Structure 1
């Protein structure tokens, strides 16, 4: 099934999950309530970023909580892949007189290559219901973004050219991590699903 890595993880998810398990849902309520719950559980979680990122993807308009988790991983993967291209362009244009910047960019290129592999692996772990492993991988991706950013701070006055990309990868991975934990909690405890709790309030 590794061929699925060559296209959207969301497409893989929709192909592999029977249609009956993916219900049309009140997506705005689901996204808002999910992002709210995640923000309440973490001091660094960005609610506005969560809502804006997820609502911008049409598939989330008809996805359940698991589908939204996959969307978050897909967004993080797209970010990481685009950032690899950005870093390669920066390296091609980097001045030979700034070896520190070149070293940092090369470190980040390696880190982002690792992040891409971990994001793809986290999808399969999530799909296989090995949530704890998926959580470890997503946490490692968040650390990857932080490590890349911190590398530039080792030299006083050095600009960090990947601040936005690193922040986006951190936040998107945090969204995926939080939702994976919510799905895992429901699976383990047998509690009503996140969607079921929303519908009970209507």
Structure 2
């Protein structure tokens, strides 16, 4: 709710408008996360100096790049009022954040630098699906 309330157009929006805003928020967060991941390319800068960390970051980059593609396709489906397709694509994008996070858990004692971003992205996408379900 707070993410939608922070958007200036949400106050006067109907369900359709809120769904569009929510989808835009998903895309914005995915783009910001890709930028964040690019800054994490050097694992030793955040306390790790091994190939496992670099591989996890690389996997996260791929997951969020694919999520962004799914979200852009979801935007196209939304414009066509194909809400079921929107939900399928947004759900696919959500799995990227889970896959990113779970990759870090493959090595005991390893702390993911992506946890907060992954959880927030998952919640944003979940909100989009909930709102879009009201349009189906």
Q: What TM-score comes out, normalization by structure 1 length?
A: 0.64
Note the residue ranges of structure 2 that are not aligned, 5 or more in a row. none
Per the alignment, residue 14 of structure 2 pairs with 64
Residue 121 of structure 1 deviates from its aligned partner by 0.8
- Native 8 Å contact 1:149 1:162 kept in 2: yes
- Native 8 Å contact 1:126 1:180 kept in 2: no
Higher RCO, 1 vs 2 (CA within 8 Å, ≥6 residues apart): 2
CA deviations 1:138-183 (Å, max 9, x no partner) are: 1111111111111100110001101111011101111111111111
**Runs of 4+ residues over 6 Å off in structure 1:** none
Residue 97 of structure 1 deviates from its aligned partner by 3.2
Note the residue ranges of structure 1 that are not aligned, 5 or more in a row. 1-50, 185-202
CA RMSD of superposed structures (Å): 1.1
In structure 2, distance between residues paired with 1:68 and 1:129:
14
SS at match of 2:85: helix
Per the alignment, residue 106 of structure 1 pairs with 58
Q: 2:39 aligns with which of 54, 75, 89?
A: 89
Residue 68 of structure 1 deviates from its aligned partner by 0.4
Q: How many residues align?
A: 133
Q: What TM-score comes out, normalization by structure 2 length?
A: 0.94
